[in-house]
A and B are shown apart, each in its own frame.
Chain A
Amino acid sequence: MNSEIRDIFLEESRETLMNLESDIVSLEGHFDRELFNNIFRYVHTLKGSSGVAGVNSVYEFSHQLENLMDLVRSERIVVSETIIDLLLDSLDYFKLAIFGTDEEIEESEKMKEGLLSRIFDCITEGTGKAQGADEKRPAVAPARDERYFHIHVRFKEDIYENGIDPLRIIQDCCAQGDLLERAVDRSALPDFPQLDPEKCYLAWDLLIRTEKSRREMQDVFIFVRDDNEIVIEDVTEEYVKEKELPAADVKIGELLMDRGIINAEDYDSILEAQAQENKKFGEIVVERGYASENDMSRALKEQDRMRKKLESSTVRVDTVKLDNLMNLLGEIVIGQSSLSRIAEELEDETEFRLKNALHGLDRITREFQEQIMAIRMIPVGPTFEQFRRFVRDQAKASGKEISLVIEGRETELDKTVIEKIGDPLKHMIRNAVDHGIETAEERKERGKNPAGSIRLGAYHQEGYVYIEVADDGRGISLQRVREKAEVLGFLHEGDEASEARLLSFLFIPGFSTAEKVGDLSGRGVGMDVVRTNIESLRGSVEILNQEGEGTTVQIKLPLTLAIIEGMMVRVGKSIYIIPLLSIVESLRPAREALKTVEDKGEVVMVRNEYVTLVRLYDLFGIPADCLNPWEGLVVIVESGEEKVGILVDELMGQQQIVIRSLDVDMTRSRALSGATVLGDGRVALIIDVHGLVGELTRRQA
């Protein structure tokens, strides 16, 4: 097969399957017709592309699956757990058959056989029921999407002679949904002397919002439609805001199917005709009377708008290109600052003009930078959605009933960060499922809802992104943490320990309070790994615990990895950057505030608190102007619970800095996390506060 086509197919399928997965799992929560249509469309896309790529087994299978789903769409089968399981298993089959190794593909064939027979069972059951059950719709009628109809009715004048009351029909029609607009056309009403009271002169124009299909609306007029003027138009897209239209490249046939104008059989036969007659799809639809020309042009308009939206909303770009763009911008900024320096040296009127021009340029580059950063930001939603399946499977495996609530899916984060939080989140969710949420019996005993819930949320606050995994389970038993800490020798019996201190033990490698080692978690690798991962993203983790009520693990992350707000500090001739978000305060301590404490080294007394003092010149072995803290400045920084005071010569002001990674091999110091190029072209090193604190503790140990 053409490898290029295959690559496109793989890429496309990966995305389709990901969407499919999250949609199927959300379907489980509640049936939503729109969602189901999406799923149908994804399967259909898969069928199409696998056909083009020549992956025949996938093509055939998706065709069968489509048949089954069509029955759901026509409401002959109700979505049950069987169907959802079947869909999920089919998804697993797709994954294996498309991305698997040769052996896995072979295995997938066996899977396919099993799945096909399950599909046929469902289909026979569904169609069987449908024979006698046409009248009796399923008790829980699936919610449908709402449509808007404009209905124009003009009855023939002698309608009363047929024994039909027009008003009843109009009322009947209005009862089908919400009547939004009504206009009565009285223009045909003759003057009173000519009025024949046994004739109907009026015409109605109605706008109705309803969940009923077009066919059902037509049925209202079934007895009168032959010799009266009745026009039903679907005007939905005029009333649905553009925002609500999904951005998608949808085939016109699929669109018509979605709107219930044609069904899958019609669709296939139209496609056949299209192949033979070489006409446009729409032409055939109109020719064969599946839809009126009006409907067709409306559908085409809708399709066009969806496509336009797609065009304006997505472009696929390699991240390397974005990085290059960012690097180039960095160079522009530096070039600009050297221009400003030259401008300083000029002394005539040109200086003023050049400076003005540079200011303008500066504004543009700043905006430029913001825009590039914005490109790198993507919503966290899709990452969160992936966990629906995970929670569902884990909950089933552990025999618990757990629902996953997702909040703040539109919160945006740097792409690199999003790629890296997947694993830590998985750990945390696993913990919540395994250890947090109790079994249904236990929950009932405690008077809780037997179904547990895990909330996965994200929000922005003060220049950070917070991500929380909260469960309403049993919480962490501080007593047990204490016992364990004593056994492991972190605490002595009778030692005072605050809740925060106790909880911090959970981040020590190998520390676990789980009673039994689960299949999934509780093997001692957990929170410490989560913390390491998050800290590598320059974030932090905190546990908020309410015993008996639940646990919330909160991750705090910087908005972006590439740019931080930094404070420039000077030590001798060197300039270092301290991330602004780590800085608590800076001060010049009094001589008396300095003390030397055994096994803590030098400390500064700050607001009745001893803070370890770090002499940066000493740590880095560089010359400095101020050797005495009461002459220089002490910058108090914070890493987690730990506070440290850094002695520097002076503060140079704050600046947005673009982080460049430092060659890992270059230094043994963990206190440095990278470098940046300053406005004057010099390179300044960035101090890693977590690493600095870590290095200090290691030295003391």
Chain B
Amino acid sequence: MNDTATKNRNVTSEEDREELQQFVTFTIGSEIYGVDVLKVQEIIGITEITYVPNSLPFMKGVINLRGNVVPVVDLRIKFRMEEREYDATTVIIIVEVKSRSIGMIVDAVSDVIDIAVTSIHDTPHFSASIETDYIRNIGRKDDLLVIILNVDKILTAEEMETIRKKEAG
């Protein structure tokens, strides 16, 4: 009797999880982006960034995160958008990629939202010239269109390698 009860509860909770997914959303320009909430370690205000010589353009440098040295990526540069001055709303979202911490500089952080799994769709095919690996899907919540990022692809060794080769060649 008890057994079936627990089973039933498990089933419902699993269904719940399947239905909704949580995302941290932020803005860059006029677009809203989202990152799986489980990937986000913390969000900090903009802080002093140490430039690392001979690094890729979108690597803004390294910051001190409570004694740990964490690399930060400027998503505007990464997404080939116009750079702009950092201001009071600029934040660094610390995400975990392959058990390492990486900071992403974004214009502003907005919210944590639930998106129904059924309203998350695959990305339409963009033109091939733009790297779209790091865009996972497009999610819709009410009128909001959220571009969901795959943080694992923001800074991968393979990607770094190909860029390196391009630069060399």
Q: Could you tell me the distance between the alpha carbons of A681 and B67 in the complex, rounded to whole angstroms?
A: 8
Contact in complex: A685, B52 (CB < 8 Å): yes
B62 within 8 A of A: yes
B30 within 8 A of A: no
Contact in complex: B64, A683 (CB < 8 Å): yes
Q: Which of A330, A621, A682 contacts B54 (CB 8 A)?
A: A621
Which chain B positions have C-beta within 8 A of A672? 52-53
Contact in complex: B64, A669 (CB < 8 Å): no
Q: Could you tell me the distance between the alpha carbons of A355 and B111 in the complex, rounded to whole angstroms?
A: 42
Contact in complex: A619, B71 (CB < 8 Å): no
What's the minimum C-beta distance from B64 to chain A, rounded to whole angstroms?
5
Contact in complex: A619, B53 (CB < 8 Å): yes
Q: What 8 A-B pairs have minimum CB-CB distances, sorted nearest first?
A: A620-B53, A330-B67, A683-B50, A669-B54, A331-B67, A660-B69, A675-B69, A667-B55
Contact in complex: B69, A620 (CB < 8 Å): no
A interface residues with partner B (beta carbon < 8 Å): 327-328, 330-331, 333-334, 574, 619-622, 660-663, 665-669, 671-672, 675-677, 681-685
Q: Which of B51, B66, B155 contacts A574 (CB 8 A)?
A: B51
Contact in complex: A667, B62 (CB < 8 Å): no
Contact in complex: A574, B50 (CB < 8 Å): yes
Which chain B positions have C-beta within 8 A of A619? 53
Q: For residue B101, which residue of chain A has the nearest CB?
A: A663
B9 within 8 A of A: no
Which chain B positions have C-beta within 8 A of A660? 68-69
B100 within 8 A of A: yes
Contact in complex: B155, A677 (CB < 8 Å): no
Instruction: Write 10 A-B pairs (CB below 8 A) sorted by A numbering.
Output: A327-B67, A574-B51, A661-B69, A663-B100, A666-B71, A669-B54, A672-B52, A675-B62, A681-B48, A685-B53
Name the prevailing secondary structure of the A interface residues.
Answer: mixed
B113 within 8 A of A: no
Total inter-chain residue pairs, C-beta < 8 Å: 71
B41-93 CB contacts (< 8 Å) to partner A: 48, 50-55, 59, 61-64, 66-69, 71
A334/B53 contact (C-beta < 8 A), A665-B155, A668-B164 known:
no
B130 within 8 A of A: no
Q: Could you tell me the distance between the alpha carbons of A622 and B164 in the complex, rounded to whole angstroms?
A: 21
Which chain B positions have C-beta within 8 A of A330? 67
Contact in complex: A667, B54 (CB < 8 Å): yes
Contact in complex: B69, A667 (CB < 8 Å): no
Q: Could you tell me the distance between the alpha carbons of A255 and B52 in the complex, rounded to whole angstroms?
A: 62
Q: For residue B160, which residue of chain A has the nearest CB?
A: A665
Which chain A positions have C-beta within 8 A of B53? 619-622, 667, 669, 671-672, 685
B5 within 8 A of A: no
Contact in complex: B52, A666 (CB < 8 Å): yes
Which chain B positions have C-beta within 8 A of A334? 64, 66-67
B157 within 8 A of A: yes
What's the minimum C-beta distance from A652 to chain B, rounded to whole angstroms?
15
Q: Could you tell me the distance between the alpha carbons of A616 and B112 in the complex, rounded to whole angstroms?
A: 45
What's the minimum C-beta distance from B140 to chain A, rounded to whole angstroms?
34
Contact in complex: B157, A665 (CB < 8 Å): yes
**Additional 4 contacts, C-beta under 8 A, given A662-B62, A666-B71, A667-B52:** A666-B55, A667-B53, A669-B53, A672-B52
What's the minimum C-beta distance from B73 to chain A, rounded to whole angstroms?
10
A682/B155 contact (C-beta < 8 A), A331-B67, A662-B69, A663-B71 known:
no
Write the B98-128 contact mask toward A (1 if CB under 8 angstroms, else 0): 0010000000000000000000000000000
Q: Could you tell me the distance between the alpha carbons of A184 and B64 in the complex, rounded to whole angstroms?
A: 78
Which chain A positions have C-beta within 8 A of B61? 683
Which chain B positions have C-beta within 8 A of A620? 53-54
Which chain B positions have C-beta within 8 A of A662? 52, 62, 69
Contact in complex: A666, B59 (CB < 8 Å): yes
Which chain B positions have C-beta within 8 A of A671? 53
Which chain A positions have C-beta within 8 A of B164? 668
Q: For A666, A667, A681, A684, which residue has the most chain B Cβ atoms within 10 angstroms?
A: A666
Q: For residue A658, which residue of chain B has the nearest CB?
A: B67
Q: Could you tell me the distance between the alpha carbons of A666 and B53 in the complex, rounded to whole angstroms?
A: 9
What's the minimum C-beta distance from B136 to chain A, rounded to whole angstroms?
22
Q: For B53, B66, B164, which residue has the most chain A Cβ atoms within 10 angstroms?
A: B53
A683/B69 contact (C-beta < 8 A), A334-B64, A665-B155, A665-B157 known:
yes
Q: For residue B157, which residue of chain A has the nearest CB?
A: A665
What's the minimum C-beta distance from A355 to chain B, rounded to whole angstroms?
23
Q: Could you tell me the distance between the alpha carbons of A194 and B50 in the complex, rounded to whole angstroms?
A: 103
Contact in complex: A683, B63 (CB < 8 Å): yes
Q: Could you tell me the distance between the alpha carbons of A434 and B37 in the complex, rounded to whole angstroms?
A: 60
Which chain A positions have C-beta within 8 A of B48? 681-683
A666/B64 contact (C-beta < 8 A), A677-B69, A683-B69 known:
no
Q: For residue A678, which residue of chain B has the nearest CB?
A: B64
Which chain A positions have C-beta within 8 A of B69? 660-662, 675-677, 683
Which chain A positions have C-beta within 8 A of B63? 683
Contact in complex: B50, A685 (CB < 8 Å): yes
Q: Could you tell me the distance between the alpha carbons of A620 and B54 in the complex, rounded to whole angstroms?
A: 7
Contact in complex: B68, A327 (CB < 8 Å): yes
Q: Could you tell me the distance between the alpha carbons of A333 and B66 in the complex, rounded to whole angstroms?
A: 10
Which chain A positions have C-beta within 8 A of B66? 331, 334
Q: Could you tell me the distance between the alpha carbons of A328 and B66 in the complex, rounded to whole angstroms?
A: 9
A675/B50 contact (C-beta < 8 A), A663-B100, A665-B155, A683-B62 known:
yes
